[in-house]
Structure formats: structure tokens, C-alpha cells
Amino acid sequence: MKKRKLDPKYNFFAAPHPTVVAGTFVNNKPTYTTLGDFGILCAYPLHVYIASVHTHYLNIGIKENMTFSVNIPNPDNLVKTDYVGIVSGHKTDKSKVFDFFVGDLKTAPMIDEFPITMECEVHDIKRVGRNDVFMAKVKNIYADKECLENGDINMDKVNPITLFMDLTYRTIGKTVGISYQVGKNFKPSQ
Amino acid sequence: MKKRKLDPKYNFFAAPHPTVVAGTFVNNKPTYTTLGDFGILCAYPLHVYIASVHTHYLNIGIKENMTFSVNIPNPDNLVKTDYVGIVSGHKTDKSKVFDFFVGDLKTAPMIDEFPITMECEVHDIKRVGRNDVFMAKVKNIYADKECLENGDINMDKVNPITLFMDLTYRTIGKTVGISYQVGKNFKPSQ
């Protein structure tokens, strides 16, 4: 074993995160924060989670509304995306940073200038360490028409951003294989 | 609103996933499966989740051992990574696909040829749709020495893989900004 054993520190976590902006309403105004801790809990039907430090302003609204939005930026949206993760909603009104619309859930502000946004309905809240983990069913996804091709999403047109623990935001790179295909080239030794 | 409203289908989910291989022991043999549904639940202390279809062979071992490993591949490992996601442990012995080692938890097989691996201790299992969501504390992280630079992880040396719902595996791309920095360029309109 040529590996070095490390403490389970956040900055040793070497997987790519998605970069997203979560939104909700607090006191009838939208508020947002940047998150990397977002992912799928179930694909069919589609359930996701976000994790956010329990003291965050965002959490107040999610607990009240039991809804949130997840907004997927591209590099054109990066300055605003990072901004809403730097300033706290407790001190700063972020309601005018983005143009938004609401969907069926009414209380999940979806960012119009981002290529993809989704509205989510919370069904469970679990405290893990210092975070509230909000588990939710995705109610609807909204996509810029420019990102759609033959009724499906073209990921290169979405051009989402990844986030790493070295604090770099990165684009997606080149395709190195197709899932459920490239593995067929494996020849077991026996 | 120039967006199109879409059903919350899996293939409309446009965020990047990490590509990882989860491992456990079933009947004293390691078994593995490829997952994109993996993420951080809390950064300090480090807690993660993986979600895996409840009927998967992997789940039997995780429930018995209450541990799993998360192994982060790079493009050199892609064929084997995809292979263990194509074949089912119910039918195929995957114990010899990878060289592995065990750490403090003893029952989480960590893949030696991947740049980063971690051993995780399950504290909660939640059923969401067809998936078991395993929530766990990261006990230790193990990194190839070649991925370390001044005691920290160099992400370009790890070279992890993202996975998209269009079934492409992709490398990470170019840096477009630094987190907690680029947002300082935002000037609120009032």
C-alpha cells in the first residue's frame, strides 16, 4: 500500500461537487446561497438533497416553506453565484441579485438567468454535524430552450460548473467514456 | 420566462456528479459498484452519503457491516470503474477486479490502484424511493503520495471523473474562478 493515511478533513475530499445556488423565501423575499453539497438520493422518482449549515438564513425559509429551488449556473453566472455564497442573508438582502420566477410550489424562487433550475418539495430534514440536510422530491425542472436538443438536455450547452475542495470552480472537460459501454471492454482474469 | 417546464426526469438533471466506486464485503469477499449518487452531508466533521438501489448486492454487505468504502478513480481506471457498474454482484464475483486493502474499519475494501479512497462508518440508513441512502462518517482518507503537494491534495494530479445524465464520463476542465474570491467583483445595483 503506497498510500498515505490522512485525517478525514474536508480539503482532502477529492471528488468533484456540482456548483449550485439554492433559493427560498424568507419574510416574502427570495434569498439564495451557493452550495456544493447537493446530489441525487433517488433517480426514479427524482429526489435530491442539499446540506446547509444550520445557522444559515436560507434554512429559516426552507423550514417554513418546506420547499427550495436548486439553480444550476454556467461560467457566465459565476460572479453572482459566488457572491451569494460570500454574503450572509442575515446581514444582506440578496433578493435583487437575480431575476426569478416561481412555479407550482410558489415559494421556491427560480433564477431566470441560469440555464437550468428546479423546484423541490422537502419531505425530511436531518441534522448531520453542523448541517441541516434537506431531502426533497423534485417537482419540476425548467430548462432554457437553448439547452434542449431533440427534447433532451445537451450538457455542453448547459455548461455547468464543478467545485473542488481546493476552492477552484472548474468547467467540465472532455468525454473519456460512455457509461454502461466502456466497461464492456474489461476482461476478467478468470 | 423563456424556459421550458419539464417533468422531473433523471435525464433532465443537469448537474455534474462525481464518479466513484463504492465497496463493501459480502460473505467475506469484497464487492463493488459504480455510483454517481455520492456527496457531502457535512464538512466539519466530514460526513457523506451514497445512494444505491435497495436490491443491489452491495447493500447487503453495507447493512451487515455498517461500513463502506468510497474510491475515486481517474480516467486510467475507467474501464474497471464502469465494469463494476454493469455487472451485478448477485451473478458475478467482482472480488478480484481490484487489488484492495482494509483500514481501521476492517470491512471496507479500499481500491489500491485508485488515487484516493476513504473508509466510512454508517450511522443512518434511509429509504428514498427505490434507493437505500447510507449516511456515514468518514473515518480515514487514503491518498496516493503522488497526489499530495505540501501536505494537501492536488486535484489535477488526482484527475477525478464526473458523470452526467447523458451517460458521458468527463474529466474536469479549466479553472474559471476561485471560490470566495470571484464573487467579490459583484456590485449590487443598490
Question: Do residues A115 and A158 make contact, with C-beta atoms less than 8 angstroms apart?
Answer: yes
Question: b/e map of B139-152 (b: 16 or more CB within 10 Å)?
Answer: bbbbbbeebbeeee
**To 5 degrees, how large is the angle CA A154–CA A157–CA A162?**
100
Where do the structural domains in chain B lie, given as residue ranges? 15-185
- List the beta bridge partners of residue A131: A53, A128
pLDDT digit of tens for each residue in chain B (190 aa)?
A: 589 999 898 888 889 999 999 999 999 999 999 999 999 999 999 999 999 999 999 999 999 999 999 999 999 999 999 999 999 999 999 999 999 999 999 999 999 999 999 999 999 999 999 999 999 999 999 999 999 998 889 999 999 999 998 899 999 999 999 999 999 999 887 5
User: Contacts of residue B2 in chain A, CB cutoff 8 Å?
Assistant: 112, 144-145
Question: Do residues B52 and B59 make contact, with C-beta atoms less than 8 angstroms apart?
Answer: yes
Q: What is the ipTM of this complex?
A: 0.95
Measured between alpha carbons, how far is A132 from A122 in angstroms, rounded to an integer?
A: 12
Chain A CB within 8 Å of residue B102 CB: no
What is the grid cell recorded at B6? 419539464
Is domain B15-185 in CATH 2.30.110.10, yes or no? Answer: yes
User: Contacts of residue A20 in chain B, CB cutoff 8 Å?
Assistant: 15
Measured between alpha carbons, how far is B174 from B190 in angstroms, rounded to an integer?
A: 33
- Burial of B153 from C-beta contacts in 10 A (0-12 / 13-18 / 19+): buried
User: Contacts of residue A79 in chain B, CB cutoff 8 Å?
Assistant: 177, 182-183, 185-186
Its CATH architecture, for the domain A14-185, is Roll (2.30)
pLDDT in tens, A88-129: 999 999 999 999 999 999 999 999 999 999 999 999 999 999
Chain B CB within 8 Å of residue A91 CB: no
Question: b/e map of A43-75 (b: 16 or more CB within 10 Å)?
Answer: beebbbbbbbbbebbbbbbbeebbbbbbbbbbb
Measured between alpha carbons, how far is B162 from A116 in angstroms, rounded to an integer?
A: 18
Residue given cell 436538443 in the structure block: A149
Question: Do residues B82 and A177 make contact, with C-beta atoms less than 8 angstroms apart?
Answer: yes
Measured between alpha carbons, how far is B50 from A41 in angstroms, rounded to an integer?
A: 8
The radius of gyration computed from the CA coordinates of chain A, to the nearest angstrom, equals 18
Chain A CB within 8 Å of residue B75 CB: yes
Closest Cα in chain A to B180: A86
Measured between alpha carbons, how far is A107 from B35 in angstroms, rounded to an integer?
A: 32
Measured between alpha carbons, how far is A90 from A87 in angstroms, rounded to an integer?
A: 9
How many CB atoms lie under 10 A from the CB of residue A190?
4
